[in-house]
Amino acid sequence: MGLKILEQHQSFGGQQIKYSHESAILQCEMTFSLFIPKKTEEQKAVPLIWFLAGLTCTDDNFSQKSGFQKYASENGVAFVMPDTSPRKIEEDSPDWDLGQGASFYLNATQEPWKRHYQMYDYLTKELPEIVYSLVPNFSGQESIMGHSMGGHGALVIGLKNPERFQAISAFAPISNPMNVPWGQKAFENYLGSDQSNWENWDAAKLVEKTGFKNSPILITQGSKDNFYEIQLNEAAFLAGAKKSHTCVTYQIEKEYDHSYFMIATFIEEHIKHHVNIIK
């Protein structure tokens, strides 16, 4: 595993720690960040929330820009922030929305991506076992959230693993990637041209097929998000949720954009949503 601490910071009584390790699944070095809340005498079990970041991001964006640590520490929850893609590898693209920083949290089947781009397996098989060992008094209860491409990842991974994740939320998610330019580009390159394979990684298709009965899914979208109309439209996802009788709380927030200013504004609400379910 070769786990190394790269950074460690005190924050609101808790510890914000950045790690690196050698990933067997991705066949490269990976980083992730972990927040451990402050210890209290009453805190006997610590639940875990996963946050998946968006296109071009790393594990640093959420940890440094969202201000989540205050609310996580107050509520006694740990947070883990994986990186968005494999790093320090040859496979890449000159385009900012493909390759490193743009994994779409799936398992690639096409060359040259399939050797390293197995992010779904990494997040569901390898990284959890590492993180569980690092969270003191881990309760075994988990939930997942994300932003943009990471919102897509949170929806897909949560919907595929309802026995593991008790709650799902997202900020401005790509909820129907197979029908928008970002998703079509990624899916064509990572998964090939057969669109029947794309459906396995499309949240709108998954929520229609499987539903999510654990709890309502919370989604926050800014009305002034410049990606909203073309990349982030919610219609297909909400229609799929309606067919499977999945409860979705979808909030359009006036004047907010796609940035971490929006996330910082509403992160307390999202954390409370998760805490009310997983605790």
Q: Where are the beta strands (DSSP E) in the chain?
A: 4-11, 14-23, 28-36, 46-52, 78-82, 138-147, 165-171, 217-222, 248-253
Give the span between the Cα atoms of 60 and 38, in whole angstroms. Answer: 20
Name 236's Cβ contacts closer than 8 Å, sequence gap at least 6: 175, 176, 179, 204
Instruction: Given the residues 66, 148, 169, 175, select the one marked as catalytic.
Output: 148
273 is annotated as an active-site residue? no
Closest CA to 278 of 126, 151, 144, 158: 144
60 is annotated as an active-site residue? no
Instruction: Given the residues 23, 225, 273, 274, select the one marked as catalytic.
Output: 225
83 is annotated as an active-site residue? no
Name 63's Cβ contacts closer than 8 Å, sequence gap at least 6: 16, 18, 33, 35, 69, 81
Instruction: Given the residues 116, 147, 152, 258, select the one marked as catalytic.
Output: 258
> What one-letter code names the amino acid at 261?
F
Specify the 3-state DSSP secondary structure of 253: strand
User: Does the N-terminal peptide bond of residue 177 adopt cis geometry, omega within 30 degrees of 0?
Assistant: no
Q: Copy the structure tokens of residue 16.
A: 């914000």
Half-sphere CA count of 10, side-chain side, radius 13 A: 2
Active site residues per annotation: 148, 225, 258
